[in-house]
Amino acid sequence: MKKISLIPVLVVGVLLLYAADDFPEWGNPTAPASASSLSSHFISNTGVDTEVPNMVTAVLADYRGFDTMFETVVVFIAGMAVLAILKGSSGPFSKNKKYTSSIEPDLIVTNTVRLLVPVIQIFSFYVLAHGHVSPGGGFQGGVVMGASFIMIALSWDLETALVRFPLDKCFLVAALGIILYGGIGLLSMFLGGEFLDYAELANILPVSREMARYHAMLGVEIGVGLTVTAIMFALYANLSTEGKLKGGL
């Protein structure tokens, strides 16, 4: 079986290496990916259309805002699906371990985490809020924020983390993030533009049209960050305990 499976693998490898000969070499500025009109359009016009210096964020939240919105929906659906699969699940082979944690949480670990978690959370806010002017954004900030809760769950136990961020609140927050994203899109539609056309928000915000896009992108990124935070923690809580939300790692 393993010998047979090597055949398609090697065939694919040979084909890919054969095709690699036609790819542009490393760092070639005339490569299609770097010299395309789309690339130069993004680079030259992002600063004109929006006031966001970070082109990646601008492309993510504005030019490809539709894509990112449903990306967030995908994350949300994945969290819901994991919950639906594992909630109250038990089979003939499910773990029947008594989830009594006889070991006390380690003093050094918990105190270190106690010091670290606020710093991590503030850093996640920084990454989220400065996603426009520096590397960062909603996904990154959300992952860092979710990691802080997972750290609490790892150093104490899952119950301690679930007291701070209960699972039902998780999905409330995740849904709130998507509603925030879609709400900003709908708001710009009701103000006379198209869906997710943030420039129309200048009608209700005391700023220019470019700056309105800047602020709308911040709102969108906050929505993404909320969803990702909640779903990351919900994924951990469900997967580490087979959906029982007791004991765990």
Distance, in Å, from the CA atom of 170 to the CA atom of 175, rounded to the nearest integer, reads 9
Contact 236, 78 (CB under 8 A): no
Least distance from another protein to the Cβ atom of residue 233, Å? 11
Least distance from another protein to the Cβ atom of residue 117, Å? 21
Q: How far is CA 195 from CA 1, 198, 205, 213, in A?
A: 52, 8, 17, 13
Decide if residue 121 touches another protein (CB under 8 A).
no
Contact 72, 232 (CB under 8 A): no
Half-sphere exposure of 213 (CA within 13 A, CB side): 23
Decide if residue 8 touches another protein (CB under 8 A).
yes
Binding residues for another protein, how many (CB under 8 A)? 75
Per the document, the length of the chain is 249
The residues in 17-36 that bind another protein, with binding defined as CB under 8 A, are 17, 20-21, 23-29, 31, 33-34, 36
The residues in 35-74 that bind another protein, with binding defined as CB under 8 A, are 36, 38-40, 42-48, 51, 53-56, 58-60, 64, 67-68, 71, 74
Distance, in Å, from the CA atom of 187 to the CA atom of 221, rounded to the nearest integer, reads 16
The residues in 145-204 that bind another protein, with binding defined as CB under 8 A, are none
Decide if residue 101 touches another protein (CB under 8 A).
no
Helix (H) or strand (E) holding 173: helix 167-190
Decide if residue 135 touches another protein (CB under 8 A).
yes
Per-residue contact string for residues 211-230; x = within reach of another protein by CB under 8 A: -----------------x--
